[in-house]
Amino acid sequence: MYAALSTVSIADYEHARRLLHDDVLPTITDVPGFVSGHWLAPIDGHGMSILIFETEDEARAMADQMPPGRELNEYVTVESVEVREVAGSVHQLDEVPLQMTPES
């Protein structure tokens, strides 16, 4: 497995979070090779995402869609993106169906 790791600047976290939950989470599972994704809340306006894919080519295809400087929406701009091999992972429950983090 391979990860597309990105850092982003977030101008308005509440709006960006709403778009994440409304637009990204419901559709990301349709991306070829997608295994899992984690979007981390920003600190000092900088957030991160870790998207896991079955193959390096699939992770690179995602990374190619997020070059530095690209505005993903009016609140989120890509700062950096890289692809790395997943050296290991562990999950509490591997057989749990897709779950979205509830909004607080």
Q: Tens of pLDDT along the chain (104 residues)?
A: 999 999 999 999 999 999 999 999 999 999 999 999 999 999 999 999 999 999 999 999 999 999 999 999 999 999 999 999 999 888 776 565 655 556 55
Please state the domain count of the chain: 1
CATH number at residue 10: 3.30.70.100
| Spacing of C-alpha 63 from chain mean position | 10
Strand 2-10: give its sheet, edge to edge. 34-43, 46-53, 2-10, 76-85, 71-73
pTM of the model: 0.84
Q: What's the pLDDT score for residue 91?
A: 73
Residue 90, in any domain of the structure: no
- What is the per-residue burial (b if ≥16 Cβ within 10 Å, else e) of 68-82? eeeebeebbebbebe
Residue 80, in any domain of the structure: yes
- Write out the H or E segment, with its range, that includes residue 15: helix 13-19
53 burial via Cβ count (<10 Å: 0-12, 13-18, 19+): buried
Maximum pairwise Cα distance, the chain:
37
Domain containing residue 6: 2-85
**Single-letter amino acid code for the residue at 45:** G
Q: What's the pLDDT score for residue 89?
A: 85
